[in-house]
Chains A and B, each alone.
Chain A
């Protein structure tokens, strides 16, 4: 199997220039060495090309959004409804008269984002409450009961497939089965939470199953040998042992859900005042970014919301990594 394709014939006698080199170095032809270097460059460059935009995005977010999210208004006030008017107002004033304020300006904009922050936490929290217990239960079935049998394999396969279903489809799904059936009252934090839960479920199932698989069988045997019914073995030994890993996977799923926009668009509606209830229309950070990005004067709101969102998402992502690295030792015996 180990067929090694050698592009250039390896010269037994080294050419003149490389004859001065150490004999171990001189056996490579210049072409082979160049190709090897090009390959190395490709690998390093790939990483750089992927990392640079990431860095650029993060820097721009901080530069454009830090001012807004540093103010308390941002966390406590409603979303301003007069940004567009305000933007036009000041601009016209400048263009026409070359000095600001001579035209009656609309009242000052108070940049607040509390409704979207609350909405994001509500929808994501509900999605987590629904999908994490169900996902763990499904993972318990797959790993502790189903094993390699046909129904477990089928479920496992389609769970993988479901992770590939576009998030916009989850939004459409909840829109068709929920929102359309309730018309006006259909759009709510509850509906958004349902859509996000559908999105999170397969991710939680697979990551939790992976973690359960890492729990050594000797622990299950130890518990069973003490006369423990299987469900107690599962809840008292297996799940606790796998919990750090499951937590970490669940947090990654939460992070991903918190940043989702497509499933939110058709399901939560629009609102500019804080709604702490799962019922009634709501809004989220991602929805605010999307709608303000293209709205005149909405740019700074969009940047602020984006930075807020990234902070939430990164907090969950990094906490997940921390949890998994800190407690991973407990699992391997």
Chain B
């Protein structure tokens, strides 16, 4: 011990070391946060493992036929999901055809055309649209829209009945439940998500290039085509893919309006079936291989949406990083 009376003011290393125990809460806290962070990865892995395990009996008994055959007769133990996958793809495609032009239009309206003060109210409208639950859109589509659409579909079918290709694409509608009805509703539902991402991408376009184009005498539309679109291609493609992922996973609205009959047909007005909706309607009552097959569809859906999301996120990330890095 040093003589305190001589050198009372000296600081020792122990003074600055602080209380050893004092750092323990810090370690606990940061580790706790880290565990929570890794939880996301754990859940994703657990989803993959547990669903694949439970679906395994169906994969094993059907082999590749599970995805390639279109013989889906649960009562006879046939589980070939091709028609169901086809339905998912057709509905998603229709949804994109509907949603992409609308979303880009709205995003352009917000970023290029709308006066500053109404921008936030448009965003509110988009938020409200995004917050309407899927099942409510489904209910509306099933009870209100379907009867009118049926008449409309049959009117169109009559009108094109003499034209070779259109005749088979726009055929007769039995109930108003169809690929088209599902696609229209899903398209409406994915407008907010595509809009919000496309808008962010548009906002990263350098303002001086936009002003440069306008200064050269371009109209607003020429500026958009010449500057905004070339700058945003990657990000817009990414946004569209994110919308595609959403559309493929859309369950309840589709379950109510698609018609629940797995078939591969060119007739967009005909009834069909989609992966999430067949799961939603039947998983509760299913058992044995049927249950495994439905879970297997879930595995397929999970894998498909994960792939689409990963590539979409990479595209959006790259687009935002290379362009307006601000």
Contact = CB atoms under 8 A, between A and B. Distances in A.
B1 interface: no
Interface in B23-43: 23, 25-26, 28-30, 32-41, 43
B109 A162 contact: no
Interface of A: 1-7, 10, 27-28, 32-33, 35-36, 38-40, 42-47, 49-51, 53-54, 56-57, 60-61, 134-135, 137-138, 140-142, 144-146, 151-152, 154-155, 157-162, 164-170, 172-173, 175-177, 180, 198, 201-202, 205, 229-231, 234-235, 252, 255-256, 258-262, 265-266, 286, 289-290, 293-294, 299, 302-303, 306, 309-310, 313-314, 317, 321
Contact of A165 (B144, B223, B249): B249
Given A36-B220, A46-B109, A168-B276, A261 B133 contact: yes
Contact of A50 (B29, B137, B191, B220): B191
A76 B155 CA distance: 47
Interface string B214-257: 00111111111111001000000000001001101111100110
A5 B224 CA distance: 10
B125 A229 contact: no
27 contacts: A4-B216, A32-B219, A43-B105, A43-B106, A44-B113, A46-B102, A46-B106, A47-B109, A50-B106, A50-B191, A57-B137, A137-B35, A137-B37, A151-B38, A158-B41, A160-B309, A164-B308, A165-B302, A166-B302, A173-B50, A202-B40, A231-B28, A252-B127, A290-B138, A309-B135, A310-B136, A314-B128
A207 B29 CA distance: 21
Given A169-B301, A290-B135, A313-B131, A4 B276 contact: no
A28 B310 CA distance: 45
B122 interface: yes
Given A49-B102, A201-B43, 8 more contacts: A43-B109, A57-B132, A155-B41, A169-B51, A173-B51, A259-B132, A261-B133, A290-B255
Interface of B: 22-23, 25-26, 28-30, 32-41, 43-44, 46-47, 50-51, 53-54, 101-106, 108-109, 112-113, 122, 124-129, 131-140, 142-144, 188, 191, 209, 212-213, 216-227, 230, 242, 245-246, 248-252, 255-256, 276, 279-280, 283-284, 295, 298, 301-302, 305-306, 308-310, 312-313
A286 B105 contact: no
A3 B230 contact: yes
A155 B40 contact: yes
Given A4-B226, A39-B221, A60 B128 contact: no
User: 3 tightest CB-CB pairs across the interface, nearest first?
Assistant: A166-B249, A259-B133, A46-B105
A162 B46 CA distance: 12
Nearest to A46: B105
Majority SS at the chain B contact face: helix
Given A54-B125, A169-B47, A261-B251, A286 B135 contact: yes
B102 to A, nearest CB: 4
A294 B280 contact: no
B213 A2 contact: yes
B125 A289 contact: no
Contacts of A40: 113, 220-221
A161 B220 CA distance: 35
A303 B140 CA distance: 9
B213 A4 contact: yes
Contacts of A6: 218, 222
Nearest to A52: B188
Contacts of A164: 242, 245-246, 249, 305-306, 308-309, 312
A306 B188 CA distance: 18
B277 to A, nearest CB: 9
Contacts of B191: 50
A161 B109 contact: no
A309 B136 contact: yes
A309 to B, nearest CB: 6
B256 A145 contact: no
B33 A141 contact: yes
B250 A166 contact: yes
A36 B132 CA distance: 34
Given A10-B217, A169-B249, A231 B30 contact: yes
A321 to B, nearest CB: 7
Contacts of B29: 230-231, 234-235
B198 to A, nearest CB: 11
Contacts of A310: 132-133, 136
A169 B33 contact: no
A146 B37 contact: yes
B47 A165 contact: yes
